[in-house]
Chain A
Amino acid sequence: MEVNRRDFLKIIGIGGATAAMAGCGAQPPESLIPYVVPPEEIIPGEATWYATVCRECPAGCGMLVKTMEGRAIKVEGNPDHPVNRGRLCARGQASLQGLYNPDRIRQPLRKGTDGSWGPTSWEEGEKALAARLAELKGRRGRVALVTPLVTGSLDRLIDEWLRAVGGGSRLRYEAVSHEPLREANRLAFGVAAVPFYDLEQAELILSFGADFLETWLSPVEHARQFGAMRTYRDGRMGRFTYIGPRLSLTGANADEWIAVRPGTEGVLALGMIHAILAEGLATALPASEEAALRRLVEGWTPAETAEQAGISPDKVRVLARAFARSRPSLAVADGKTSNGTDICLATTLLNYVAGNVGRTVRFGPTAAAGRTSPYREMRTLLQSMEKGEVSLVLLAGVNPAFTLPEGERFRKALEKVPLVVSFASFPDETAMASHLILPDHTFLEGWSDIEPWDGIQGLQQPTMRPLYETKALGDVLLSVARRMGLEQQLPWEDFPAYLKDQWKGLHRHSGPAEDFETFWARALQQGGLFRSVPLRPVRPNPEVFRHRFEAPRFAGESEGLTLIPYPSPIFYDGRTANRPWLQELPDALTQIVWDNWIDMHPADAKRLGVSEGELLRVQSPLGTLELPAHLSGGVRLGTAAVAVGQGHSAFGRYAEGRGANPLPLLPAEPETASGGQPWIATRVLVTRTGRRHLLASTTGSDRPHDRGIIQTVPLAEVQRLREPEKHPHLLQMYPEHSHPKHRWGMTIDLNACIGCGACVTACYAENNIPVMGKVQVAKGREMSWIRVQRVDEGAPDYPEHRFLPMLCQQCDNAPCESVCPVYATYHNQEGLNVQVYNRCVGTRYCSNNCPYKVRRFNWFMAEWPEPLHLQLNPDVTVRSMGVMEKCTFCVQRIQGGKLQAKVEGRAVRDGEIVPACAQTCPTRAIVFGDLKDLDSEVSRRSKDPRRYRVLEYLNTQPAITYLKKITAGPVEG
């Protein structure tokens, strides 16, 4: 690492200067209101926190950004924000590596006539754009502006601006979108929106392919709800069944996986409706509707639907009974096939029949995710570009050249457009195909407001001065308008002025109990304005009872495997593939890093003679690509799954040339009903190439080997759990450690852990953990201090994945301590197993003797390519080559918390000190605290009858207590 003393002083200098000048320089000064401390009190060495909103996906989680000396160094969830309540996913945690990405576009760029990029000035760039717009004024439809799902003030400004400059088409394009869900609700209730799903209240959740813990709608929010729903209380816990051809991470957290044929999820829902009506379980339904429904599902008997879905008819009946009897239950669906709308509609009706609408499915607070432009419009744009009907395309924060099935065609079509302006922050495929790049700030540097659900207005504020010569999209639009002489229509000086103006409107609405400045300051401090939205009752649209349900259609040869592309839980639609932390985060189900692969059923692989790691040629009618095989019982026989997100041809050093993008294999026709893009729409022929590909995985073995590392308890037996047997007192040669004031400890509830990996990335961010790259990980040299171990306890075609976050157990009887010849590791008075980097000579005996294998050795001098080093936490040492390191329980936070308490002259409060992993855990599986404080949550939890300690028989006396996962098995009905 290259932060030497000189660099450090430079950073301090810059930070100090930033504080002193309060943002002078190229940008107009802004007054930022920090979360805790007023701005004039920026003290070097003390963190300033800003509340803002995460923009890594459209979920709009609230975020707190820790800045030190003018640099954002850590992000955490905003506990006041109703979406995520203080938690973040791995992608959110890694957003800092977007800000500090070494491949960011650092200034406006212009493509020369020879196709090479050269720098230009903002003046020139804006002039060129204004001139073009002025030329096109009055010629309708010659301008297209594509943004991702933008909400709130910026959304309104873009619309106003587009109108002012002469009109054009406006698209809100998201590759991971919910058109079928929106259309299904329009058909069912006449409301074209995505409602609020309350997973927390549900007694039974059926997911028809909705990966709500990973990428569907609002993953962190759903994970929290799911965690609460799965909490064990008085012999009961919420149950969850996953239905779909691929066992996703969400599915891996279910009690049962029902591997239906692709596209038959809706059929199963219809069969369930049939069974519910037949058995008279739909109690709350008006007679007329019941009759109409009976007619609708007449042909869909359990026997018929089971036949189509490829499961047993009893399963349909059992599910139907359980679903109807659980009050309330909840069915969620993601329509990814050509009949996606029908799948969503069938599950919507199923919810209605079971009486869930208005309870766990709530209209009123609808999701912004339901307001994306249909994929069909992107195709229309593509076609008009090809016809030469578009003269100016503005692309902001989207990468259709990568995410569209016809990405390559889109890129070529851009060549037919005289001027393509991109506002991209990174040199992605689409930006590279443009003519002019006017780089936007990253979200950590700019203003905005985000409205993920009705009633939730998150405020996004800059957390530091822009790193480079970038400019916010809103500012550029207003500046261009000024150059065009449109001050009349758009009088605002810059986007923050517009934003504030919009919030003045909100202030007037909310009643003038306080003056605007107070209102504004409060909103900034708490991260936005959060109001509850009244429930809106809905009635079924009579038309819906005459709906004709369709079967899915697939392109390609019938003997091929059905291809299931899915958005990667780590890279979403590919937009986070350039974050090294995420590349090094193991995929939850395979533990593979820095790659993508094709999941194949072992029986299919055997039939085709394919072995693990062999490079395969995957061919659809629309294209061919090469991917290494990964054999997994987690896909239904006859299907093959590939994650979307890798396979970038441009996007910086970390993303380029890794794996392959399966989207170009897909047919481009939109779904007829909703206009969405069917992802599961083609069959592929898989042939062997005979070549092999190294898949770097962090797992040594997938199986448990009778070691009892991850323990479970059946639901029925939880109540009968007795106090775990005490091990006989073993004779000790040395006295036991005394912990006079504190004994830090942790509990990890395996029943809550969903294996998402947010803790891992949070730890990388907090503790300056270096990224090693694929080759080193393949050698077992990843540096993560916490890992989410995965073990498969199931049958070959029915995997049962279990997860266990493994970190230093801070043993009382630590095997690492006694073998260190130089006391580089020892037990401190607060129960921490401390590692003294300066004293370590690197014998590595401690790691050999650690049964948990949580110690990491610095094989090389770690590197942080500039400016990634600006993210380093100044409170944590950057370790040098040749020393051992490991989890410290975030000792810097413990120290900070104790100091704070001392300054305030009080004892440390429970929950005040939280390590980074526990802080971000979306399901609150990890709880940290003082075991000496008998009232602390960690003390209470560590007395749970489900408790156990990993490898207890070794008498290491760990400070971490695990709570056994509760296994429930299939629901009974």
Chain B
Amino acid sequence: MSNLTYSQVDRDILQAMKAPGWRYYVVFFANLLVLLWGIFAWQYTVQRGLGVWGLTHPVMWAMDITNFVFWVGIAHSGTLISAILYLFRVRWRASVYRTAEAVTVFALLTAGLFPLIHLGRPWFFYWLLPYPQVGGLWVNFRSPLIWDVFAVMTYMIISVLFFFTGLVPDVAVVRNRTTGWRHHLYAFLAQGWQGTDRQWRHYKAAYLFLAALATPLVVSVHSVVSWDFAQSIVAGWHSTIFAPYFVAGAIHSGLAMVITLLIPLRRIFRLDTYLTQTHLENLAKLIILTGLIVGYAYVVETYIAWYSNNVPEWQRFVYQVTGEYAVPFWIMILFNSLVPLLFFVKRIRTSTPWLLGISILINIGMWCERFVIIVTGLAHEYDPYSWGLFIPTWVDISITLGAFAWFFFWFLLFAKLLPVISIVEVKEELPPPMKSTGSEA
């Protein structure tokens, strides 16, 4: 990378933003169709009632909350890479953090839908917000769901700010090279950036400040999400390990998602020079760490279920391992904690097909993990008379697919409208040009 010039960087990264070809449109509209189908499924739910889902009496949350937790988890890697690694001055983050941050924002956009979608009466969603109401009605701050509202909204605000702050010098470059509506859009996003020393000083301070603000959120948001479960008395949910377990899982899935997206991005936009094998390898090393933590959590959970000598707790564990949901359980064990161990082998973690394959498996595994935790806990609760089974319907599946389509909808727009790699930070890694080449920033 070090033999690049500033102008080369500008050209290379900005070439990804030129007018899309027909392949892009095919993918975009196919994705849009899936999204519209998902919206129809949700509309159908609102019209007919939640009975069109596969929910049943004991299992009142299933794919809705699974999707919520899954997408909140995906959101975590972005902040980790952009904020924590920034604070630790990890240099290789420069090439990947923009995409990771975009994943965060879009994953939160997706996750944020589910608390709405899952409501029995979604038209009253605003009742979950503490707003001055003439009747004096207030929200219940003892409920983890209210903590969720605050946690997710805070996270949303900070990551959006962080994302757009980081974009400012980059979009200024784009602004200078575009005309028409694009110019106006980038001019707005660039917020009058001129690249003066004063601006740079303020920019760096703000960025550092936001990074410091975002760092605790990596830990807190998913901890709060985990308390949705840990605060309840449901056997299999009520567990003190949930917060670290969920945070590690979130980062695990987030990293996997970033790899899953970077590999095709790199290929399509020919960014191999910027997104090198080293970057991916470093991400894979991080995955080894999170995979080990997740695996440890699985072992501890099992051990505690046995050691507690609590009948419902142990029976639920046995059910989870052998019951109707054993397949997603074993997928979770295999894909989340065993398969990532393959990254210990250098040849595997440096091979693009292996990386892509394993990261997709981790995504599947992490979705299954959330599903297994939520559904098996509820399906076999305290009163055996009220045990029950969740079987997804076409509506559940459509809404889940729609959520993926929603995420990719934003990501596809992002890939064409914003620089997918931070121009500024890549340049920071380069030796400064000996002579001005005319490029700003």
Contacts and interface: CB of A to CB of B under 8 A. Distances in A.
A862 to B, nearest CB: 10
A311 to B, nearest CB: 33
A8 interface: no
B51 A841 contact: no
B146 interface: yes
B176 interface: no
Nearest to A882: B120
A858 B60 CA distance: 11
A704 B61 CA distance: 25
- Main SS of chain B's interface residues? loop
B121 A815 contact: no
A881 B120 contact: yes
A823 B139 CA distance: 7
B412 to A, nearest CB: 32
A847 to B, nearest CB: 5
A958 to B, nearest CB: 13
Contacts of A860: 48-49, 51
A845 B68 CA distance: 15
Given A699-B385, A848-B60, A842 B315 contact: no
Contacts of A884: 120
B121 A841 contact: yes
Interface stretch (A215-223, A282-290, A520-528, A774-782): A774-782
Contacts of B59: 780
Contacts of A842: 50, 119-121
B50 to A, nearest CB: 6
A820 B119 CA distance: 12
Contacts, number: 159
Interface in B12-57: 48-51, 54-57
B128 interface: yes
B307 interface: no
Given A709-B385, A819-B145, A857 B60 contact: yes
Given A707-B383, A815-B233, A843-B119, A821 B128 contact: yes
B297 interface: no
Given A700-B387, A815-B233, A822 B120 contact: no
Nearest to A783: B57
A23 to B, nearest CB: 41
A1 interface: no
Contacts of B145: 819, 821, 843, 845
Interface residues of B, number: 48
A851 B57 contact: no
B385 A700 contact: yes
Interface in B127-156: 127-128, 137-140, 142-146, 149
B228 to A, nearest CB: 8
Nearest to A700: B387
Contact of A819 (B50, B128, B144, B378): B144
Nearest to B126: A841
A951 interface: yes
B120 A858 contact: yes
Nearest to B393: A779
B128 A781 contact: no
A500 interface: no
A805 to B, nearest CB: 12
Contacts of B233: 815, 849, 851, 954
A781 B57 contact: yes
A707 B315 CA distance: 10
B381 A853 contact: yes
A839 B119 CA distance: 13
A732 interface: no
B383 to A, nearest CB: 5
Most buried by B among A706, A848, A881: A848
Contacts of B311: 705-707
A783 to B, nearest CB: 10
Nearest to B382: A851
A709 B58 contact: no
Given A705-B311, A820-B140, A856-B57, 11 more contacts: A707-B382, A815-B233, A818-B143, A819-B232, A821-B149, A839-B137, A843-B145, A848-B60, A853-B381, A859-B51, A882-B121
Q: Would you list the 5 A-B pairs with minimal beta carbon distance, nearest first?
A: A842-B120, A700-B387, A859-B51, A882-B120, A853-B386
20 contacts: A700-B383, A780-B57, A782-B57, A818-B140, A818-B143, A819-B142, A823-B140, A839-B137, A841-B120, A842-B50, A842-B121, A844-B55, A844-B60, A845-B60, A845-B61, A848-B60, A849-B234, A851-B233, A882-B50, A954-B382
